[in-house]
Structure 1
Amino acid sequence: MEEIIVTVAAALALGMVAYELRVPPLVGFLAAGFFLHFLGFTAFAGLQEVSDLGVVLLLFTIGLKFDLRSLLQPEAYGTAALHMITVVLVGSGTIGLASVIGVISLHGGLGTVGLLGFALSFSSTVLVVKVLEDRSDDGSYYGQIAIAILVLQDLAAVAFITIAGEESPSPWAFALVLLVPAAWVLHRLLDRIGRGELLVLFGVVMALGPGYVAFESVGIHGDLGALAMGLLFAGHPRSGELSKSLFSVKELFLVGFFVVIGLQAAPSWSDLGMALILCAVLLPFNFVSFYLMGRLFGLRNRTSIRTSLALSNFSEFALIVVAVGVGNGVFDNSWLTITALAVAVGMIASSLANARSLQIVARLDAVLPSENEARLRPTDRPLDTGDAEVVVLGMGRIGRGAYERFVDLGARSVIVIDNDHAVIDALITDGFTVLEGDATDHEFWHRLVVGGNAHTVVLAMALHDSNTFALDQLRIAGFDGTIAAVVQRPDQAAHFNQSGVHAVVNIYSGSGAAVADAAMNTQQR
């Protein structure tokens, strides 16, 4: 029990330090693992299982919100394939050169360095999805592209692990197709499940039973099964509710995942040096590679940059691939330590970069060459609000209420901007006027002010940082109309009041109608 208490307390303490430093708490969880390892602690019995359960639930919830059509887009499958090829080449070259100059010893030929390069060609599914969820971007266009690339990478990793494993998949693996018709029965069961703990238990059982265990029992990696089960529930009306019910449980178990990553490292100086070399070479290369491929397949600068920032890290699957290689005698145990260090350092660097993603995107987008709009993917072209007089950013409970109130008050043209494709489809079905887009796009704000007719803007996005960034863009573009904003804390309200926002409403004490009324009253004065 003492080991459990110390581990949890260390994760909490360093997670709080990371939060106070305005970096993602997972950086603190990784640091807790390193710190505990330095003090001589090892993972307590059951921590690895907790970590694995967190990953299984994460993949299940990815499936619940993922649009399979994203896999068929060239910006997804084309980028995944080309990036893997280039990283294998660059990673292999870096490792081979380091071996030649004596930084690290390496036994084996091109196949050995090629396998290591292959292991380092994946991005972290756990980290990327957590970053996207924290920013409420997992349903956005760039978020869906990033997740589609991750799914394709994970399929490649699972295929390798299955082929290179000691046992081949069972012939019974073909029976897994029966899960498709069985989904009808499971959907009806979800219809009858209540809320609260029953819904949570249902999600856990689906992820572990017909998901993880069913696939593992026929010799296929269970994580793929959890993802597949999530996809089978993706079209259900309660899939979003099921995902939200699992959120806290999944987040708690994922703390164990990041702590375990830190606890696995027992490096020598040469191991640490090799890990830092891999990070220094491959992380910037990953960013440039993803960016250039995004542009190649018709994505805008900002979409390519945001996708690149999310994906520029190393995957937890790298540890599994390397472990398979060590088990087959392809290379030494030291490479497992080097890979664990590279994964941890890459996660920290990626988390810090994504914490400032809006600022990085704005600065890079300002200096990169302009795009030819005609060559862009139709879904990624800049938004045009046309004759809309009221623009609502974010279509959660408050945004929806504000939209409906504006319509009731007789506003002639109200339009909503949201970045979640699934939400937008549902809103269009309900008769809302809505556009899919990124409200933190400075070009959108320029078009809104220079060529649009909007006189009222409501900032109702889930994240205060996004609302703040949008407010800055409004000021830069010279918007002189009414601005209303939604906040969650008193300090956020004080910040917006000092910034000249005309109407500020707390999400916990107000409603969408209150936001609309406050904005309209401001206009009348």
Structure 2
Amino acid sequence: MLDPIIILIALAGGLASRALGLPALIGYLAAGFVLHETNIEGGELLQGLANLGVTLLLFTIGLKLSPAELLKPKVWGTTIIHMASMQLFFMGVLWLAGQLMPGLGLAMNETLIIAFALTFSSTVFVIQVMQERGEMSSRHANLAIGILVIQDLAAVLFLSATKGTIPHVEALGLILLWPLRGVVTRLMERAGHGELFTLFGLGLALGGAALFDYAGLKGDLGALAIGALLAGTQKSKELYRNLMNFKDLFLVGFFLTIGLDGWPEEEALLLALVLGVLAVFKVTLYFPLMTWLHTTPRTALLSASMMGNYSEFGLVVVAVAATTGWIGSEWASAVSLAIATSFVLSSPLSNRAHQLYRRYHKFWLRFESARVIEQKPDTDGAKIIVLGMGNIGTGAYDAIAEEHGYGVLGVDLNERKLSQHSRMHRRVVTADASDPDFWHGVQLDQVELVLLALTHHEENMLVGSLLKDLGYAGRMAAVVRFAEEGRELEQHGFSAFNLYAQAGAGFADHAVEQLKNQDN
């Protein structure tokens, strides 16, 4: 019955962490360790929330999954080389720790498994940070998530192997899921947009996990697979938005359980803290690998800066290996502390990544490959730039282009969407609005107006700050959804258009126009 109190304490930790400029998940971890010191233990409710959170996390990752993205060398190549290198690195660190602290009693099989667990970076951390910044659709988020998905697949395969059994013959029937894609999509459309649709999504995630578990495979892999099966459809985007808050809520339980596991013994405690600090070295390998495989320096830096940590799946790997007797059970708490330490250190680094890139811009460009240099977008003659070519941005573009023609430029990252705009003879380019390299190629002294029709308020603020730093003196206008967002933008020199408040006025104008036409 203490679970509700635990959740309230987690809320307090999350609020305190947010007030300090850190992700809320740091507060949840801290709350877990504090609760452990007070001898409060979580019950079945908390563990159930944690498990459901991880399942929904993988399902929502699947909904955003692009197989074509995973097949790019910069994704799978970076993942394989990085994991292999980190495996050797951490095996060396653990061997050295065993020599300096014989009391650890590290056997070779324990060294192999713990090092393997430490090769993963945290999917939960990256997605939480990207969602809070409004950067889930950015190139660096897509690259990071692609790498993390391949890492997660490796973890899930390991966990499936620890069952000690081979997949059941029923697993062959899972290939029939693909022909059912159309049926499931039609059912999603019939479910509408309300609570039935959200319940349908929860059922798909939990049902996929149960189906794979029945077939002798890891259930989490099933949630990921079902999500991937539906990826790319219009309803999958809506389902992702509906489940996102549920997933975030349930993951609070996961972060609490890490802290509630408590502290390791003295020597293992010291090793855990050292390992937590060493997680930052992951960034120093991610970045050169990405740029070597033709990723832009900015995308590489922003992606790498988020992955200097350890993964929740690493903890699961160690916990499952302990239940099979492959390693000692005491290593679960040591890895938990290493994960928590890596989160605390990774957070300020990822928060400063944009600033670090802008400050040392020329240095990072030294790593740019020739293939990347050839892909600069054409922005010549642009006088009005529309950032974000969704429904709102497209409407604004069409209205302005009637008068300004070729001088209007649309910018978006969605290449599929941009190809449709090109067929409609709109002038569009593929670029990240928050990328200084894109704006360095724009003649800002000729740009009169920048319209920000981006999805998130945080992204609007980031782009506005960047333009000011680059000396842009023209006008900026942005779409907002809430009054407080509009006030903050106006304080920074924007003209804010409140989508909800002012849509009513636009609707009324439309209705009046219809009445005039009827009278005529």
Taking structure 2 as the reference length, the TM-score comes to 0.90
Alignment of 1:282-431 (within 5 A): 283-372=279-368, 374-376=370-372, 381-396=375-390, 398-408=392-402, 410=404, 412-421=406-415, 424=418
Once superposed, what is the RMSD of the aligned Cα atoms? 2.6
Q: Which amino acid aligns with 1:459?
A: L
- Offset, 1:428: 5.2
1:13 alignment counterpart = 12
Find the partner of 2:463 among 467, 470, 473: 470
Q: What 5-or-longer segments of structure 1 have no aligned partner?
A: 515-525
Looking at structure 1, the residues matched to 482 and 182 of structure 2 have their Cα atoms a distance apart, in angstroms, of 43
In structure 1, how many angstroms separate the alpha carbons of the residues matched to 2:213 and 2:285?
A: 34
Alpha-carbon displacement from aligned partner over 1:18-52 (angstroms, at most 9, x marks no partner): 22222211111111111211111111222112111
Q: Which residue number in structure 1 is paired with residue 252 of structure 2?
A: 255
Which of 262, 265, 269 lines up with 1:268 in the alignment?
265
Instruction: Name the structure 2 match of 1:33.
Output: 32
Give distance in 2, aligned partners of 1:39 and 1:387.
65
Quick check: 1:212 aligned with 2:191? no
Q: 1:372 to 1:60 in 2, by over 3 A?
A: closer
Structure 1 residue 125, shift from structure 2 partner: 1.8
Gaps in structure 2 of 5+ consecutive residues: 507-520
Matched residue SS, 2:48? helix
Going from structure 1 to structure 2, the CA distance change for 1:504 and 1:107 (only over 3 Å counts) comes to closer
The 1:513–1:388 alpha-carbon spacing in structure 2 relative to 1, beyond 3 Å, is farther
Q: Per-residue deviation at 1:279?
A: 1.7
Aligned counterpart in structure 2 of residue 189 of structure 1, from 176, 184, 187:
187
- C-alpha contact (below 8 Å) 2:297/2:368 kept by paired residues: no
Per-residue CA deviation, residues 130-179 of structure 1 (Å, 9 max, x unaligned), is 22233333333222221111111112112222223222211221111111
AA partner of residue 15 (structure 1): G
Contact 2:122/2:309, CA 8 A, preserved across alignment: yes
In the alignment, is the contact (CA less than 8 A) between 1:140 and 1:420 conserved in 2? no
Distance 1:506 1:317 in 2: 41
How far residue 232 of structure 1 moved from its aligned partner, in angstroms, is: 1.0
Name the residue aligned to 1:65: 64
1:227 has 2:224 as partner: yes
In the other structure, the counterpart of 1:449 is 443
How much does 1:410 deviate? Answer: 4.8
Return the match for 2:138 from 137, 140, 155.
Answer: 140
CA distance in 2, matches of 1:422, 1:129: 23
Please give the alpha-carbon distance, in whole angstroms, between the structure 2 residues aligned to 1:136 and 1:425: 24
Structure 1 counterpart of 2:128: 130
Distance 2:22 2:225 in 1: 32
Pair 1:479 & 2:456 matched = no
State the distance in 1 between where 2:460 and 2:304 align: 23
User: C-alpha distance in 2, partners of 1:193/1:377?
Assistant: 47
* Number of the residue aligned with 1:506: 498
Which residue in 1 is equivalent to 2:511? none
- Aligned equivalent of 1:519: none
**Matched AA of 1:320:** V
Separation in structure 1 between the aligned mates of residue 362 and residue 482 of structure 2, nearest angstrom:
32
- Contact 2:134-2:459 within 8 A present in 1 as well: no
Identify the residue that residue 431 of structure 2 maps to in structure 1. 437
Alignment-derived partner of residue 157 in structure 2: 159
Query: In the alignment, what sits opposite 1:24?
Result: 23
d(CA) in 1 for partners of 2:285 and 2:420?
A: 35
CA distance in 1, matches of 2:454, 2:341: 31
* Distance apart, 1:243 and its partner CA: 1.2
Separation in structure 1 between the aligned mates of residue 505 and residue 364 of structure 2, nearest angstrom: 41
Aligned to 2:96: 97
Sequence identity (%): 36
Distance (Å, rounded) in 2 between the aligned partners of 1:466 and 1:295: 24
Distance 2:413 2:50 in 1: 31
TM-score (norm 1): 0.89
Counterpart AA for 1:504: A
Aligned-residue offset at 1:432:
4.6
More displaced, 242-251 or 336-345? 242-251
Q: CA deviation at 1:295?
A: 1.1
Q: Deviations over 1:224-268 (max 9, x none)?
A: 111110111113221111111212222211111111222123333
| Residues 1:185 and 1:445: Cα distance change in structure 2 (over 3 Å) | same
Rounded to whole Å, the distance in 1 between the matches of 2:417 and 2:291 is 27
Amino acid in structure 1 at the alignment position of 2:150: L
Contact 1:24 1:355 in 2 (8 A): no
Deviation string 1:4-24 (CA, Å, 9 cap, x unpaired) is 221121111111112222221
SS for the counterpart of 2:234 is coil
Match of residue 81 from structure 1: 80
Equivalent residue, structure 1, for 2:516: none
Instruction: Pick which of 291-300 and 255-264 moved more.
Output: 255-264
1:480-505 alpha-carbon deviations (Å, 9 max, x no partner): 3222234456565455444444x233
Maintained 8 Å contact 2:277/2:345: no
